[in-house]
A and B are shown apart, each in its own frame.
Chain A
Amino acid sequence: MARKEVVNANVQSDKKLRTKDLIFAGAFGAIYVVLMLIVVMGTGAIPILYIGSPFLVGVVCATVYELCVLKVRKFGAALILGVLFAITTSSAYLPGLIIAIVVALLAELVMIIGKYQSKKMFLVSFIVFNLNMVCPFTNLYFRRDAFLAMATEYYSADYANTVASFATGWLPVVQIGLAILGAAIGVLIASKLIKKHFERAGIV
């Protein structure tokens, strides 16, 4: 009886996140957020690139995400990444925060379907995960006037007007489309890079 419990405990701890996995998730979270900030700030001065940042971030950050989930291969890696992302980018606006976390959970769900083994499902899960790039813009969807006032104050009236001309009803649809497209391209790059560099080095 006692022995049986011990065996069960071991199985459990293999499925649960260990401290090591938590460290990996936190560290990859830092890399992800820094890269995203570099991409968004590097392009943010041009309104159309700012609107299209879900695409660019998807292309650039896919490799970081894929490495993180491939290294951990348990429930929680994508969730931690999503929570860290949400807190640093959309903590000032609650709906955005909630959407970001829900999206991370959905990405976990995709990986659960692949039982944390299927490579295809790992790749697909980033396409879901990248939808969180829409969250910083929820301000623009739901509180348009406040956001434009902020853009006027931060940048200039011209900038705000350009953003406003894009910010019509179909903007969320376009940005979700861009996020999916960017993630799809990013995932292709990620799988190539991981095969070329990290699998050969025995890291994943």
Chain B
Amino acid sequence: MDLVFNDTDKGIIKIDPRTKFFMFLASGCLTLSSFSDLGTIVFTAFLCVILGLCGKPVLALKAAGVFFLTVFFRFTMDASLGAPKVIVGILSMLSTAVMFSFPMILSLIIIVKTTKISHFISAFQAMKLPIKVIVPFAVFFRFLPTVSDEWTGIRKAMAFRGISLSPAEVIKHPWRTIEYILIPMLFASINVMDELAAATMARGMDVDIKRSSYEEVKLKAIDYILMVLLIAMVAVSIILGNMVKGGSTI
């Protein structure tokens, strides 16, 4: 088990992990307090560009494709008046949920896919945060993709054995379903945790002295520009969202 989120060396620009974390908080703010379509679309496009510039152009294109398909789908749903109301309602609900949670998911992807965990830790150490605060966060972000990997793996394994995860089955045997999903997931994750703990031990994380790092940790001009842009975008879209509340959306 490697202590690396993912490779970053190919990127055109290098963003400080702190800026990425700020991006995550900003998109959380946007998702939970702004109701503006335009704001969300612009913000997501911006995040896609950053993901592309950070060295993941293919992933960025994929994400942009999915997002704009969802937006397109949502507007066609709103426009289709002839179709049965229930189906339109459910589909537009789903597409709206995907659309508005997209910035948060995308900023998480940016953190997870383009940051080395050692870089993450040293950047936050430069902020004088104690290591006891940083490690849980670093592991948290490191573990999110692992958990979703395990989740898909378990679903496949269960399908192979003829155990279905369809709503009907879940309602029929709720306890059994919980057991069949939770136990393999926890066992697999505990193994990964043990390996991770051994790896950190080998890297001397257990010692209470200041750690040095090969990575240069400094907020550069691009980080400040990005932060200002993020704040501006969130502020504008919150204002836009409040202006149109109750009326038609922009």
CA distance A25 to B105 in the complex (A): 22
Minimum CB–CB distance from A144 to chain B (whole Å) comes to 14
CA distance A201 to B188 in the complex (A): 13
Interface residue? A174 (CB, 8 A): no
Q: Is the pair A155, B96 in contact by a Cβ cutoff of 8 Å?
A: yes
Interface residue? A197 (CB, 8 A): yes
Interface residue? B178 (CB, 8 A): yes
Q: Is the pair B93, A197 in contact by a Cβ cutoff of 8 Å?
A: no
List chain B residues, Cβ under 8 A from A203.
190
| Chain A interface residue bracket vs B | 35 or more
Q: Is the pair B140, A19 in contact by a Cβ cutoff of 8 Å?
A: no
Interface of A, secondary structure class, is: helix
* Given A19-B201, A27-B139, A92-B32, A34 contacting B151 (CB threshold 8 A): yes
> Which one of A41, A93, A156 has the highest number of Cβ atoms from chain B below 10 Å of its Cβ?
A156
CA distance A27 to B136 in the complex (A): 7
List chain A residues, Cβ under 8 A from B183.
193, 197
> Which one of A25, A153, A154, A193 has the highest number of Cβ atoms from chain B below 10 Å of its Cβ?
A153
Minimum CB–CB distance from A48 to chain B (whole Å) comes to 15
* Given A45-B90, A92-B29, A156-B89, A23 contacting B186 (CB threshold 8 A): no
CA distance A28 to B182 in the complex (A): 12
Give residues in B with beta carbon < 8 Å to A. 25, 28-29, 31-33, 35, 89-90, 92-94, 96-97, 100, 131-132, 135-144, 146-148, 151, 174-175, 178-179, 182-183, 185-187, 189-190, 192-193, 196-197, 200-201, 205-206, 241, 245-246, 249
Give residues in A with beta carbon < 8 Å to B. 17-20, 22-31, 33-35, 38, 41, 44-45, 59-60, 63-64, 67, 71, 80, 83-84, 91-93, 139, 146, 149-150, 153-156, 158-159, 189, 193, 197-198, 201, 203
